[in-house]
Amino acid sequence: MFQIPKNLSHKIEHIHQIGGIQTALIDFPCPGGKHGAGGRVAMFNTGSGLRFTVNIERGGDIGEAFYNQYGLAYLSSNGVVPPAEGHKTSDNGWMRSWPGGLVTTCGPMHTGSSRDEDGQHVTQHGHHSNTPAAVVAIRQPDLHALHQDPNASREMSIEMIIRDNSNFAQFLEVRRIISCTLGESVIRINDTVTNVSGVKLPHNLLYHINFGYPFLDTDTQFIYGGRTWLTLDPKDTPTSVEALNKLKTVPSYEVRTNDPLSSFCAMVEDITNSDGIARTGVINRKLKLGFEISFPVEQLPRLTNWQCLNDAGCFIAAVEPYSGSLMGKNKEPITEQQAGQYLQPGESRQYDVTMRLHTDKSDLDQFAACDAPLSFYDA
């Protein structure tokens, strides 16, 4: 952790010299002839080596992210595409507009692929990512207080509102706070989802946390455990627990280019946890870097691990805690009561996700100890 000296007032005059948040407009031509620029962003510098960008126009999600010289996140060929109503309503609009990035929020009404559900046709992964956020407040570390006391608040945060609404119909509001502490490699996301309408509405939420090269590479290890089934053709499904657990380590280029499992999604129930908190994520031992994702399993009781490692322009793996139904209530091997999720008028639900980087060997070893074996769902 970065130590604040007692005589800080003798050394700096502006907080951004050591960290904080800066806002800006992205002016970058979108590839493929797409119109417009990326729009508003908030750039976080934690002063610990961790830096990331919040794409305000894209639901206040997190785009590019770096630790020192290493990129952490997968970035898609779309670039940061401005949100558009057409991307919400077409079946392939999400894929055509998805920028990748460290965190993409899916929901807040439906997640997963396009399908008919709850008496309507729903499009892929919901509206959140294609909805601009309204900024409520940006808070910087208090430089004046730090001049007086090195132990004063070092918190920085952005608070936003994202509304998925239509006149005289559905209206869910997400109030989001993304916060960090100066000198610490930790990101906290705190979301409160409220049904502002006068009718019961479906509510499903997924955090699509996406890793890319150089952090994601051969021998990268995924940390999680529980009962799982795979979204694969049955002939490709591993038949032994040993083969199932091999999917938690990124194979070499030679193996994955000839492997039908180079792209799959593991759906995990009964996530391994300690005192109700799941500690999941990714470790790259070669870079001596671990990325921990922790969350209360009461809030986010399910997890997916999507891997698309085909080296054909898409090299990505995601760890995705979620609540509700992802594949559709009629396709998941769980009851509708378990999978279905709704909010009554005026009802709110809280979600807390903490992402933490580990660089010390002892911390990496402790995080690795959170790993647990996978078992087959119907075992």
Nearest to residue 366, comparing CAs of 305, 306, 266, 281?
A: 281
Please count the other Cβ atoms lying within 10 Å of the Cβ belonging to residue 317: 20
Nearest to residue 375, comparing CAs of 271, 281, 261?
A: 271
pLDDT of 172 reads: 93
User: Which one-letter DSSP state was computed for residue 271?
Assistant: -
Domains of the chain: 8-376 (2.70.98.10)
Query: What is the mean pLDDT of each successive set of 10 residues along the chain, which is 379 residues long?
Result: 66 89 79 61 97 96 97 91 71 77 91 77 80 96 78 89 83 96 96 94 94 96 92 66 91 69 80 94 98 96 89 83 82 58 92 97 97 86
Phi, psi for 268 (deg, rounded to 5): -115, 125
Model's pTM, two decimal places?
Answer: 0.92
Please count the other Cβ atoms lying within 10 Å of the Cβ belonging to residue 189: 20
User: Which one-letter DSSP state was computed for residue 240?
Assistant: S
pLDDT of 330 reads: 67
Residue 181 near residue 155 (C-beta atoms within 8 A): yes
Residue 4 near residue 150 (C-beta atoms within 8 A): yes
pLDDT of 324 reads: 87
Residue 277 near residue 240 (C-beta atoms within 8 A): no
pLDDT of 79 reads: 84
CA 66 to chain centre: 15
201 three-state secondary structure:
strand
pLDDT of 362 reads: 96
- Please count the residues of the chain: 379
| CA pair distance 123, 104, nearest whole angstrom | 16
pLDDT of 292 reads: 98
| Cβ partners under 8 Å of residue 339, min gap 6 | 324, 325, 329, 332
